[in-house]
Amino acid sequence: AQAGVKLPVKDVNAQIVGPTKTYAISDLNDWSAVVHMAYKKNTFLFTGDAETKAEADMIKAKKTLRADVLKVGHHGAKTSTSKNFLNVVKPKYAVISVGKNSYGHPTSQVVNLLKGARASILRTDQNGTIIITGDGTSYSVKKSR
């Protein structure tokens, strides 16, 4: 994956916005493919496990990051989803893909940042499968529990 690559998805503007730099092999999470997708007025940002270094690099590279729906980075670890990143993305919905774990994910730090950003938080450990559908102007959210 490399920033600038456009993905051929019918009626959707989908492109890779990160990584924007070459990172050390020890920084594997920063190599995560970050994808921005837009369908008319509906916007989504999928961050994989990209950490704050990669987030800052995407901001500096002026990548399109504004999105209504954010897939929160690295399961809500404190190493991702910085306040600066949230100020640029401005998500209405924040989806945290996480299960029971010994790492403490999602961290209270990230949850509090998301609350401060006024994002509606959806967590797979609490809500089960989460499906957000956009019709180009609005969204519907389905949870399995």
The full set of domain ranges for the chain reads: 6-143
Average per-residue pLDDT for the chain: 96
Does domain 6-143 match CATH 3.40.50.740?
no
Task: Say yes or no to pLDDT of 2 above 90.
Answer: no
Residue with tokens 């102007």: 137
pLDDT interval class at 1 (50, 70, 90): confident
- pLDDT at residue 19 in the model: 97
Task: Say yes or no to pLDDT of 137 above 90.
Answer: yes
The residues, ordered by sequence, that sit 6+ positions from 36 with a Cβ below 8 Å of its Cβ are: 14, 15, 17, 43, 44, 45, 46, 63, 64, 65, 67
Paired with 6 in beta bridges are 15
- pLDDT at residue 77 in the model: 97
Identify the CA nearest to 35 among candidates 21, 43, 45.
Answer: 45
Task: Say yes or no to pLDDT of 55 above 90.
Answer: yes
Amino acid of residue 22? T
